[in-house]
Chains A and B, each alone.
Chain A
Amino acid sequence: AQTVTQSQPEMSVQEAETVTLSCTYDTSESNYYLFWYKQPPSRQMILVIRQEAYKQQNATENRFSVNFQKAAKSFSLKISDSQLGDTAMYFCAFRKAAGNKLTFGGGTRVLVKP
C-alpha cells in the first residue's frame, strides 16, 4: 500500500514571497504519478501540477514548480511570487500507473498574508 506524508500542517508566507511545501511518499511501484491539488476555502479541489515518475525533469506550471527526488521519494512544491489567491489547503497525492485511485497526504494549509 502507498502512503503519502505531508509534515507541515500549516505555513504562512508574505505576498510576493516564496514558500515550499514538503511531501514524501512510500511505494514499491516503479511507475506512478504524483500530484499537488489545491482546495481553497469552501471551493472545489483543483489540480495544481502533475509529475510522471518516469520523467526526470521537474514539472513547472507558471509560479508553481516541483522538486521531484525519486530515489528519496520526495515531491516538494514551490510557490513563487505568492498571491492572496494562493491561500488554500494543498494536498500531495499519489496514483499508480493504472487506475484513478488517488492516495492523499494529510494536507498543508497555506496562508498568504498581505
Chain B
Amino acid sequence: KAGVTQTPRYLIKTRGQQVTLSCSPISGHRSVSWYQQTPGQGLQFLFEYFSETQRNKGNFPGRFSGRQFSNSRSEMNVSTLELGDSALYLCASSLAGTDLTGELFFGEGSRLTVL
C-alpha cells in the first residue's frame, strides 16, 4: 500500500511568488492535514480537510490556503511568499472521519526555500 506522497519534495522560490504543494493520501484515507515545520517555531498545524471540507484551521495568515479534491488529494497554496515561509511542509492522512482514534500517517514533506 503506497504511503502519503508529497510533491514536489524540494523547491526554491523568491519573495512575492506563490507556491502550490500537493499531497496524495493513503488510499481510502479521507482526512488530510497540513503542518509547517521550522527550526524556530517547530511543528505547527495549518489546516485539516475531510471530504473536501476544511474541518479545522490553525493560526496562519490568509496567504495560506488549501483545498481537497473528491479523490481526497489535497493541495496547499501560499501566496506572496515571505522569507519566513521557508519550511518543511508536512502532510498527514488519516482514515478517521468521525472515528476519533485514527492514526496520522505523514509524508516525507515538501521543503520550501524562499530567497
Residues in A lying within 8 Å of B, measured CB to CB: 33, 37, 43-47, 50, 52, 91, 97-107
Q: How far is the CA of A43 from the CA of B109 in the complex (A)?
A: 9
Give residues of chain B (76-100) contacting chain A, Cβ–Cβ below 8 Å.
90, 92, 94, 96, 100
User: With A106-B42, A107-B42 as given contacts, are A101 and B106 in contact (CB-CB < 8 Å)?
Assistant: no
User: With A99-B55, A100-B48 as given contacts, are A50 and B103 in contact (CB-CB < 8 Å)?
Assistant: yes
Closest to A98 in B: B100
Contact assessment for A44 and B109 in the assembled complex, using a CB-CB cutoff below 8 Å? yes
User: With A91-B43, A104-B43 as given contacts, are A99 and B56 in contact (CB-CB < 8 Å)?
Assistant: yes
Q: How far is the CA of A101 from the CA of B86 in the complex (A)?
A: 22
Closest to B50 in A: A100
Contact assessment for B42 and A100 in the assembled complex, using a CB-CB cutoff below 8 Å? no
Contact assessment for A100 and B108 in the assembled complex, using a CB-CB cutoff below 8 Å? no
Q: Give chain B nearest CB distance to A59 CB in angstroms.
A: 13
Q: How far is the CA of A43 from the CA of B9 in the complex (A)?
A: 12
Closest to B32 in A: A100
Chain A residues near B35 (CB-CB < 8 A): 102, 104
Chain B residues near A97 (CB-CB < 8 A): 100
Q: How far is the CA of A46 from the CA of B50 in the complex (A)?
A: 21
User: With A33-B101, A107-B42 as given contacts, are A100 and B94 in contact (CB-CB < 8 Å)?
Assistant: yes
Tell me if B72 counts as interface (CB < 8 A to partner A): no
Interface string of B46-74 (1 = CB under 8 A from A): 00101000011010000000000000000
Contact assessment for A45 and B106 in the assembled complex, using a CB-CB cutoff below 8 Å? yes
Contact assessment for A100 and B106 in the assembled complex, using a CB-CB cutoff below 8 Å? no
Q: How far is the CA of A33 from the CA of B58 in the complex (A)?
A: 19
Chain A residues near B56 (CB-CB < 8 A): 99-101
Q: How far is the CA of A44 from the CA of B55 in the complex (A)?
A: 24
Contact assessment for A100 and B109 in the assembled complex, using a CB-CB cutoff below 8 Å? no
A-B contact pairs, 30 of them (CB 8 A): A33-B100, A33-B101, A37-B106, A44-B3, A44-B107, A45-B90, A46-B106, A47-B103, A47-B104, A50-B103, A91-B43, A98-B100, A99-B55, A99-B56, A100-B31, A100-B50, A100-B56, A100-B92, A100-B94, A100-B96, A100-B102, A101-B33, A101-B45, A101-B48, A101-B56, A101-B58, A102-B35, A102-B45, A103-B45, A105-B42
